[in-house]
Amino acid sequence: MRVAVFGTGYVGLVTGTCLAEVGHRVTCVDIDRDKIEGLKQGRIPIYEPGLEPMVLANHAAGRLDFDTDAEAVVARADVLMIAVGTPPDEDGSADLSHVLAVARTIGRSLSRPAVVANKSTVPVGTADRVRAAIAAELAARGVAVEFEVVSNPEFLKEGAAVNDCMRPDRIIVGSRNPRAVETMKRLYAPFNRSHERVVVMDERSAELTKYAANAMLATKISFMNEMANIAERVGADIEMVRLGIGSDPRIGYHFIYPGAGYGGSCFPKDVQALERTARQHGYRARILDAVEAVNAEQKSKMFELLARHYGGEAGLRGKVVAVWGLAFKPNTDDMREAPSRTLLAQLWAAGARVRAYDPEAMTEARRLFGGREDLVLCDSPEAALAGADALALVTEWKAFWSPDFALLARALGDKVIVDGRNLYPPDEVEAAGLAYYGIGRGR
């Protein structure tokens, strides 16, 4: 099938590439000329494991192309996918201007029957608005072309996006139109060999499914962070509690790791947007409010632990803190809403200096904070320790999993570690002569 994918961000580029990998002819369209030129020359704008070789191979094989000329691409496509960003508006609701701009572009160029599939995370009811925008453009041109709008939300995780896309848990197709459903099933048939993964439902349920999934996952995290805060106060170890409750299959071990708070481009934005949608419909979503509030506080946790060690914020003045990990999670260079940013801002406000290292996010860190006197961006974990008084482990990259604690004890002036991901065994760290602070571990 011929597929046009609008938007070459995480969702668009990964989805387009995976669809090409299974044999479809895909053109990724973006208004950003530099990005499209770069992609044509094999420059991948994001760090995502496994993506680059897949893009290069499919481009070379002629199944994957990149274009800024929407009109020509729309004219050829059977399926048109919208995968552009929906950043938060000032009030937290999702900004649909990019999605609707693509809809209008499609309406201006559509000349043969097609299915328009929306992959962007959009509030309930957006499929209707996309349909109306396309129809208005067609009417203005005075042409009648058959088209269907389908909600087809994406569930990929940054850092595991290619794998998630090639081996989806489920494929949600929101449409009441049997022909559109048939087209989407044909499109996804190669991903569907071992068992039926396509779940068909109405558009609105599909749109809400996406938000409900992210809100549920964010709730698990905030719940565990709340438990960690209770554990800390009552002298329990949340890591033991995690194992204890995860063993119940109804709860499960996945996604119940306490930490420095969730970040990224999805959970913070989607929880807020869903809360906003609920409010617009006259409902106060109290659980969502609490999930967000707990997370906002949790992002200050690492700073609080450091300040506690130093007898208050004032004790951090002039201190040098090594920060391991800047990305919002491992295997990505993305620092959007990352807990590291809260920690850095709080350390700087307290008059501390930072030496930071991240395996992939250094370019992004330079873009965000380059030129600051109180930040040294280092090229290895060891370099970040040089001259540091304390270590803050923010992102659980594999490179940070098994440090030599004796070496850390020698390197750190004040011999203190704040472990924002509960990676390290407290006894071992303390046996090496270091003070250890974790999340909800009573120390």
Annotated binding residues for NAD(+): 30, 35, 86, 121, 158, 269, 336
Tokens of 294: 């707990």
Q: In angstroms, give the least distance from the CB of 345 to ligand UGA.
A: 17
Collapsing DSSP to helix, strand or coil, 109 comes out as helix
What residues from 267 to 286 belong to the interface with ligand UGA (CB under 6 A)?
267
Q: In angstroms, give the least distance from the CB of 240 to ligand UGA.
A: 16
Q: How far apart are CA 41 and CA 61, in angstroms?
A: 14
Single residue of 155, 191, 223, 348 touching ligand UGA by CB under 6 A: 155
| Listed ranges 31-39, 74-82, 97-105, 155-163: which one lies at the site for ligand UGA (CB under 6 A) | 155-163
The one catalytic residue among 18, 28, 165, 266: 266
Q: In angstroms, give the least distance from the CB of 334 to ligand UGA.
A: 8
Q: In angstroms, give the least distance from the CB of 32 to ligand UGA.
A: 20
Which x/- pattern over 320-359 shows residues binding ligand UGA (rule: CB under 6 A)? --------xx------------------------------
First to last CA, the chain: 58
Rank residues 211 and 310 by Cβ distance to ligand UGA and give the closer one.
Answer: 211
Q: How far apart are CA 174 and CA 318, in angstroms?
A: 56
Q: How far apart are CA 323 and CA 51, in angstroms?
A: 28
The closest of 330, 350, 331 to 420, measured between CA atoms, is 330
Q: What is the DSSP letter of 202?
A: -
Q: Report the amino acid identity of residue 384.
A: A
Q: How far apart are CA 309 and CA 389, in angstroms?
A: 12
Single residue of 174, 264, 325, 420 touching ligand UGA by CB under 6 A: 264
Q: How far apart are CA 214 and CA 158, in angstroms?
A: 13
Single residue of 66, 147, 262, 436 touching ligand UGA by CB under 6 A: 262
Is-contact 321 354, C-beta < 8 A?
yes
Is residue 221 close enough to count as binding ligand UGA by CB under 6 A? yes
The closest of 437, 434, 430, 443 to 411, measured between CA atoms, is 434
For the four alpha carbons of 222, 225, 227 and 233, in that order, the dihedral sign comes to negative
Is residue 439 close enough to count as binding ligand UGA by CB under 6 A? no
Rank residues 223 and 348 by Cβ distance to ligand UGA and give the closer one.
Answer: 223
Tokens of 318: 């002039």
Is residue 400 close enough to count as binding ligand UGA by CB under 6 A? no
Single residue of 2, 141, 157, 204 touching ligand UGA by CB under 6 A: 157
Q: How far apart are CA 337 and CA 296, in angstroms?
A: 10
| Listed ranges 32-40, 69-77, 94-102, 153-161: which one lies at the site for ligand UGA (CB under 6 A) | 153-161
Q: How far apart are CA 80 and CA 106, in angstroms?
A: 8
Is residue 156 close enough to count as binding ligand UGA by CB under 6 A? yes
Within 10 angstroms of residue 345's Cβ, the number of other Cβ atoms is: 14
Rank residues 217 and 376 by Cβ distance to ligand UGA and give the closer one.
Answer: 217
What residues from 175 to 214 belong to the interface with ligand UGA (CB under 6 A)?
214
Q: In angstroms, give the least distance from the CB of 236 to ligand UGA.
A: 18
Active site residue 28: no
- Give the residue ranges of the annotated binding site for substrate: 155-158, 210, 255-259, 263, 329
Is-contact 163 50, C-beta < 8 A?
yes
Is residue 397 close enough to count as binding ligand UGA by CB under 6 A? no
User: Containing H/E element for 361?
Assistant: none
Tokens of 280: 């617009």
Residue positions annotated with a catalytic role: 266
Q: Which residues bind ligand UGA (CB under 6 A)?
A: 121, 154-158, 214, 217, 221, 255-257, 259, 262-264, 266-267, 328-329
